[in-house]
Amino acid sequence: MAADKCRDFTILDIRISSVLIKITEMNKIIVIIGLLLAGNTVVAQQTKAVQWMLGVWKISTPQGTVVEIWEAKNDSTLQGRSVFVKTNNDTIPQERIEMAFRNGEWFYIPTVSNQNEGKPVSFKVIFLRANEFVSENPAHDFPQRIAYRRIKQNMYASIEGKRNGRFSKQNFDFTTE
């Protein structure tokens, strides 16, 4: 009878060991899945960092209205476009813009009509927080720096850098409805 008890304990130990092995393997799978999901969450959180730009933004002038429209293209890119609407309602395209998250970094990428042979120019985002960013491309002729900041229903954009050897800055004060 004592031998039967020992055999029972041995079988029980083996069963417990196999259950522990299965639990350990299950934990590994859960940890791997968790890490994969966490990685996707980090990317998703990154893309949310610039969603404050979404919408239709306008600057009224005596000659017409500058309109900048930002939309989500996908989970890593915002797509913008800027047009000038004259007082007679003629619309003149100004630029196409992407705000893109690539290889763990943000880039502001404008393609301006009649500039740079119609090719996009990348500006690396060097500063990003809740409702603002600063991007730069020191090798570009002008501007070398582009910044955006949102405060409530206003979005303030600026371009700056050296032009013909002198510092120049232009501000764009947008509003939304």
Greatest mean pLDDT among 3-12, 30-39, 62-71 lies in: 62-71
90 and 106 inside one domain: yes
**DSSP classification of residue 143:** -
Residue 68 binned pLDDT confidence (cut-offs 50, 70, 90)? very high
Side chain identity, residue 16: I
Show the CA angle centred on residue 85, arms to residues 134 and 100, nearest 5°. Answer: 30
Which structural domain range is residue 36 located in? Answer: 1-48
When divided into structural domains, the chain yields a total of 2
Which of 129, 77, 131 shows the shortest CA–CA distance to 100?
77
pTM: 0.74
27 and 72 inside one domain: no
For 43: left if phi > 0, alpha if psi spans -120 to 50, otherwise beta; the answer is alpha
Chain segment 30-44, per-residue pLDDT in tens = 444 443 444 443 444
Chain segment 140-176, per-residue pLDDT in tens = 999 999 999 999 999 999 999 999 999 999 999 999 9
pLDDT score recorded for residue 123: 98
